[in-house]
Amino acid sequence: MTQAETILWNALRNNKLNGYKFRRQHPISRFIADFYCHEARLVIEIDGEIHNDIDSHAYDRDRSNIIKELDIKVIRFTNYEILNSLETVLIQINSEIQKSLTGPK
């Protein structure tokens, strides 16, 4: 795991984020999600520098679209966001969880 992934995992593991269970390196379809909350049907992806080139953007977009077809929401954060604004990231994750649990099905 990268430093950013380790930091986020430490904030999510053992139901630390409002009691929601996350799995790391969880298989979904033919992909491996960085983090997954089954209850909220939410994938969290952490993007490092490699994700900045145009080919990676296209791959990430296609991958997210395939996962969305399974009725799973994908949200992305950069390493920079995790390393410098962890509390903001956790607030955003919690907000997405609440939307998924209270929104229309």
pLDDT tens digit sequence for 19-73: 999 999 999 999 999 999 999 999 999 987 654 556 677 888 888 889 999 999 9
pLDDT at 61: 85
In whole angstroms, how far apart are CA 85 and each of 28, 77, 82? 27, 10, 6
pLDDT tens digit sequence for 70-101: 999 999 999 999 999 999 999 999 999 999 98
Could you give the domains of the chain?
3-97 (3.40.960.10)
Please indicate, yes or no, whether the overall pTM of this predicted structure exceeds 0.85: yes
Structure tokens at 43: 């994938």
Q: How far out from the chain centre does Cα 90 lie? A: 11
